[in-house]
């Protein structure tokens, strides 16, 4: 087995890490304090990423993207995980689901998103439909040649900067042996479209400046050409393009954990108590040993899952395992890093308390830890008919 990176992959890691350290780190404290990313800064970050050739690096070259494979893109996300999500949002990784665009949709949505001219946001979660996607109450009903959307979405990340939205809505119900099951269809909806409103969401303790919004649809009429993929085929579109987003969360968690680890090691080496560096005490050094072991394990789980995707191998269980372990590892690492820093870890003079707060959401979004365990168990027992 080959565990090393190619020279090109090493260059990708070095380039993205340098960008995060020089362009993201200096602005983090201010974004954390204000909860806002200044428009000029957002535009500057976007411009620099486009100039670097990394905008839409997750899209194939034939549509103007960077053409990175799953492993290489996972390396990018791992390095971006070191920085503030509010700022790395402008590194520009449009939703891969846009590859389902056809005809005029490619010119209006896919290609402008890949060029960095338009930004997208994914709208799936609702107040009563989180892990249970089929429980969504947002509906789209045919009316002549159009569709009329009604309902509410919430926790929609990046909606404050999005020019258009990828919206999932229920478009019918099937009777099945297991009871009624909703059919889901995906739509493309432009900001400012009549009947569609974007408003501020909730204040979160995690990832300040990376806002969530509430979307409201009130008799929002869309032509048939706004359907992305097939009518009632929303789950097919979702499963084809979105399940690898769990891998992104895993990679982010590894990157953030490595940044925390660096802080913990530096502090332990410099902080003195009882006449010596606290790194000399086994109570600290053993914690550090456990941290790096868990970080490396999560890293390899994540990269192995990406490697399987690149080879067309089944990876659903492996991705779920990576997401589960990496996010829970990050919780332990941030908590241990704070403990090593003692009282100063809770002060906002240092970024430690921010890392600690930010880590909490990773076990929830893109599929909770409980959902990941369900996926893993299902993948193990399904072949046995259990």
Q: Which has the minimum average pLDDT: 159-163, 243-247, 298-302?
A: 243-247
Q: Are 56 and 114 in contact (CB under 8 A)?
A: yes
Instruction: Compute the average pLDDT of residues 207-224.
Output: 97
- Total domains in the chain come to 3
Instruction: Compute the average pLDDT of residues 224-244.
Output: 88
204 shares its domain with 293: no
Distance CA 103, CA 297 (A): 44
Q: Answer whether residue 292 is part of any domain.
A: yes
Instruction: Compute the average pLDDT of residues 335-343.
Output: 98
228 shares its domain with 255: no
pLDDT score, position 352 = 97
How many residues are there in the chain?
386
Distance CA 68, CA 59 (A): 7
232 shares its domain with 263: no
Contacts of 102 (CB under 8 A, 6+ apart): none
Domain-ending residue, one of 199, 217, 239: 239
Distance CA 361, CA 327 (A): 9
Tell me the three state secondary structure of residue 176. strand
286 shares its domain with 229: no
In this model, does residue 231 exceed pLDDT 90?
Answer: yes
Average pLDDT over all residues of the chain: 95
275 shares its domain with 211: no
- Of residues 4 and 340, which shows the higher confidence score? 340
pLDDT score, position 239 = 80
How do residues 289-332 score in pLDDT, each as one tens digit? 999 999 999 999 999 999 999 999 999 999 999 999 999 999 99
Q: How confident is the model at residue 178 (pLDDT cuts 50, 70, 90)?
A: confident
The neighbour count for residue 354, using CB atoms within 10 Å, is 19
Q: Answer whether residue 36 is part of any domain.
A: yes
Q: Answer whether residue 28 is part of any domain.
A: yes
Q: Are 311 and 253 in contact (CB under 8 A)?
A: no
Distance CA 379, CA 34 (A): 44
Q: Are 80 and 21 in contact (CB under 8 A)?
A: no
Domain-ending residue, one of 219, 239, 259: 239
Instruction: State both tokens at 161.
Output: 């900067």
Give the domain CATH number at 197.
2.40.110.10
Q: Please name which of 128, 168, 129, 125 lies closest in space to residue 149, comparing C-alpha atoms.
A: 168
Distance CA 80, CA 85 (A): 8
The neighbour count for residue 134, using CB atoms within 10 Å, is 13
pLDDT score, position 237 = 84
pLDDT score, position 236 = 87
Q: Which domain, by its residues, includes 51?
A: 7-93
In this model, does residue 182 exceed pLDDT 80?
Answer: yes
pLDDT score, position 32 = 96
Domain-ending residue, one of 239, 269, 284: 239
Q: Please name which of 248, 203, 206 lies closest in space to residue 360, comparing C-alpha atoms.
A: 206
Give the domain CATH number at 24.
1.10.540.10
380 shares its domain with 255: yes
228 shares its domain with 261: no
135 shares its domain with 174: yes
Instruction: Compute the average pLDDT of residues 154-160.
Output: 96
Q: Please name which of 268, 266, 271 lies closest in space to residue 287, comparing C-alpha atoms.
A: 268
Distances (CA, A) of 336 to 57, 294, 357: 34, 12, 13
Distance CA 75, CA 58 (A): 11
Distance CA 14, CA 285 (A): 29
Give the domain CATH number at 362.
1.20.140.10
Q: Are 346 and 328 in contact (CB under 8 A)?
A: no
263 shares its domain with 350: yes
Torsion of CA 96, 98, 102, 103, to 10 degrees: -130
């Amino acid at each position: 087995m080959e565990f090393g990176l190619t020279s090109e992959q090493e260059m990708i890691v070095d380039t993205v890490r340098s960008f995060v350290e020089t362009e993201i780190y200096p602005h983090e404290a201010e974004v954390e304090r204000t909860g806002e990313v200044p428009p000029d800064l957002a535009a500057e970050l976007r411009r620099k990423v486009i100039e670097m050739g990394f905008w839409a690096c997750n899209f194939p070259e034939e549509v103007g993207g960077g053409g990175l494979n799953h492993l290489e893109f996972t390396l990018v996300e791992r390095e971006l995980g070191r920085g503030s999500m509010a700022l790395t949002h402008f590194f520009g990784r449009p939703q891969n689901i846009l590859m389902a665009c056809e005809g005029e949709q490619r010119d209006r949505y896919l290609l402008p998103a890949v060029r960095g001219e338009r930004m997208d946001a994914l709208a799936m979660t609702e107040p009563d439909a989180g892990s249970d996607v089929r429980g969504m109450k947002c509906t789209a009903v045919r009316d002549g040649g159009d569709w009329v959307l009604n309902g509410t979405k919430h926790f929609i990340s990046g909606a404050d900067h999005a020019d258009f939205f990828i919206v999932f809505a229920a478009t019918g119900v099937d009777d099945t042996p297991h009871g009624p099951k909703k059919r889901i269809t995906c739509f493309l909806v432009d900001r400012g479209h009549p009947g569609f409103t974007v408003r501020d969401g909730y204040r979160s303790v995690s990832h300040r400046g990376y806002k969530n919004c509430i979307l409201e649809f009130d008799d929002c009429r869309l032509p048939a050409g706004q359907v992305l993929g097939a009518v009632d085929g929303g789950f097919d579109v979702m499963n084809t393009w979105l399940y690898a987003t769990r891998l992104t969360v895993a990679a982010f968690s590894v990157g953030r954990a490595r940044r925390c680890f660096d802080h913990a090691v530096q502090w332990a080496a410099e902080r003195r108590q009882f006449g010596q560096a606290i790194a000399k005490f086994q109570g600290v050094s053993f914690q550090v040993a456990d941290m790096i072991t868990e970080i490396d394990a999560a890293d390899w789980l994540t990269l192995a899952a990406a490697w399987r995707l690149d080879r067309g191998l089944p990876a659903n269980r492996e991705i779920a395992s990576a997401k589960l372990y990496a996010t829970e590892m990050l919780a332990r690492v941030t908590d241990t890093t704070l403990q090593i820093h003692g009282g100063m870890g809770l002060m906002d003079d240092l970024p430690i308390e921010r890392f600690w707060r930010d880590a909490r959401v990773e076990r929830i979004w893109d599929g909770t830890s409980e959902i990941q365990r369900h996926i893993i168990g299902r993948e193990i027992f399904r072949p046995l008919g259990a």
